[in-house]
Structure 1
Amino acid sequence: MTAVVSGPKTGRALVPTGLFTKLAQRVATDERVDKNHADRVVDQTLAFLGTCAVSDLVLAPSAAVDPGWHAFILHTQEYAAFCSLVGGRFLHHVPTDDADPTLHGAAARAVIERTVAEIRRARFEVDEDLWKPSVVDCSQCYQGCSDSPRP
């Protein structure tokens, strides 16, 4: 018997099509981006959150991905149900103080690199353009958002 190894999975596969569309529309409107870009953001947000659900590490979205998490949280019932389904626990959005040194420079890049490695380890596709290290060199690095590690 030969084992079948499946390729990477998409974040969008974690939610029903209607919810994905609703989240992408919210991102497109709020961020003033086109539908394709919003779809990519939401896909990576869901991959990120799916990874947070199974990881014991503190992970953080890139500045490009964070708006998808913000959009999802606004849909509180769907977000809570998603968290319960993928991780059996609520995935908290934990802002940090702007003075936190992990929000800037090399430390911020290291957090993003760790996050991307974990997303790959969880077997999700990674949209490299939305996770570029240069994205975290801004003063609003992922807006200080991270997932709290498992209790």
Structure 2
Amino acid sequence: MKKVNEIKREIPLIIDKIDNICKQYELTSDELILELVRFLDLIHITDQKLSPSYLVNLVWHEFILFTRFYEQFCLKHYTRFIHHTPGKREDANVFKRTIKLYITRCAFRKSCANC
């Protein structure tokens, strides 16, 4: 939860930005930001192309808008800027690869030491 707390501390406005998503899907801001961080962590550990879930993509779009902090966050935690490159909707294999990697690295963990 370190990265989640860092994001919330440095850009508290992100909570307001994702509030509608939280309400619509009955999730907390912590849950949504944690899933975003997990996805960014996955990008960091692989050279393969990955695809975010719909909700992660929505939160990522909001996070990227805080350009200075987003850049600093990426450099600090991933040693590079992680670009958001939209893909084709029909590229289901990329999303399947993402899910498989997510399951092996993140699923079923109550807490994530690196998050």
The answer to whether TM tops 0.5 is yes
The one-letter code of the counterpart of 1:33 is K
What stretches of structure 2 of length at least 5 have no aligned partner? Answer: 110-115
Question: Could you say which structure has the larger radius of gyration?
Answer: 1
Gaps of 5+ in 1: 1-11, 128-151
Alignment size in residue pairs: 106
Shift of 1:78: 1.2
Cα contact 2:71–2:81 (8 A) shared by 1 = yes
TM superposition shift of 1:120: 4.1
- Using CA pairs below 8 Å that are at least 6 residues apart, which structure has the higher relative contact order? 2
Normalised by the size of structure 2, how large is the TM-score?
0.72
Partner of 1:111: 94
User: 8 Å contact 1:24–1:42 — kept in the other structure?
Assistant: no
The alignment-based identity, stated in percent, is: 26
| TM-score normalized with structure 1 length | 0.58
Structure 1 partner of 2:73: 82
Instruction: Identify, as 1 or 2, the structure richer in helix.
Output: 2
CA distances 1:98-138 after superposition (whole Å, capped 9, x unpaired): xx4xx13xx42x322211222344x43469xxxxxxxxxxx
Give CA deviations for 1:17-53 in whole Å, capped at 9, x if unaligned: 4147543331114x47267343322210111012112
**Is 1:36 matched with 2:27?**
yes
